[in-house]
Chain A
Amino acid sequence: MAEYSLRYPSVSDSEERMLDDLDKIVCENEIEAATAQPLKLAVSEAFTNALIHGNRQDCRKLIRIDLRVNECEVTADIADQGHGGLKQVLNRRPPAPLAENGRGIDLIRHTTTAATFWENESGGLVVSIRLKRNVKSGVNG
């Protein structure tokens, strides 16, 4: 099993670095496209949620991604250093058709085998995702 611990400051530039790092992990582990695409999407959505809502783009706060890859599945935990994020997720309403945001949580749920949202000891929101590997369609589950 391969394990990765990634840390990013909560600035908008971090998104591209994170996606570049994910691309390298996908390549290193030869993760098939049917798993890589939903993995990148789900991690990206959780990352953006952490950046914007959890850490409120406070450059002093970090976004943590802990990722594990084996031949059967990929799992990841994406954590922010904010407060109250879990309540926001649990109380969220579906976005209006022409809303410009608010689709991230639904995309995480639709594209992963399993996704859970919980609060760590520090009060930060953790998004834990799991994707089973060797799925032929682009949508996991």
Chain B
Amino acid sequence: MDIRTREEGSVTVLYLKGRLDLASGATLKEEVKKLFAKGCTQIHLNLAEVEFINSSGLGSLVSVMKEVRLLKGRLTLSNLASYVQEIFDITQLSHIFEVFPTEEDALVSSQSVSVV
């Protein structure tokens, strides 16, 4: 899996491309750890190019979310393919994560939270 990052104000956006599974989930966790070390705790994951996700990949997302919460940060997701969204719904993780239709929606939401 490829991971590309960019900064958007106080939010670090990660673009994930490829499969999110056991091996790449570990890679994602390592990348996010590096962001935490730099003090970045507002993280958005754009999953538009995630072509496959399994329970190991979901587990890595849960792990990231728990770490973000411990740091009193925020994690948002966007652009889930319909099949990925179905997996979130089956596992009821759609209730746990903040999922937005688009990256723009998520970033606007982050700005609103910052203002409040």
Contact = CB atoms under 8 A, between A and B. Distances in A.
A19 interface: yes
B87 interface: yes
A3 B19 CA distance: 25
B86 A138 contact: yes
Nearest to A22: B52
A98 B96 CA distance: 8
Interface string A14-47: 0110010000000000000000010011001100
A90 interface: no
**Overall SS of chain B's interface:** helix
Contact of A103 (B82, B83, B86, B91): B91
Interface residues of B, number: 24
8 contacts: A16-B19, A48-B55, A98-B65, A103-B59, A107-B91, A138-B82, A138-B83, A139-B86
Interface of B: 19, 21-23, 52, 54-56, 58-60, 62-63, 65-66, 82-83, 86-87, 90-92, 95-96
A100 B90 contact: no
B22 A48 contact: yes
Interface string A96-129: 0111111110110011000000000000000000
A70 B110 CA distance: 49
B22 A139 contact: no
Contacts, number: 67
For the complex of A and B, the 4 pairs showing the least CB-CB separation, nearest first, are: A100-B59, A103-B55, A138-B83, A104-B55
Interface size class of A (residues with CB under 8 A): 20 to 34
B1 to A, nearest CB: 10
Contacts of B90: 106-107, 110-111, 139
B96 A104 contact: no
A40 B52 contact: yes
A12 interface: yes
Contact of B55 (A12, A45, A98): A45
Contact of B62 (A45, A99, A106, A139): A99
A14 B94 CA distance: 29
A44 B21 contact: yes
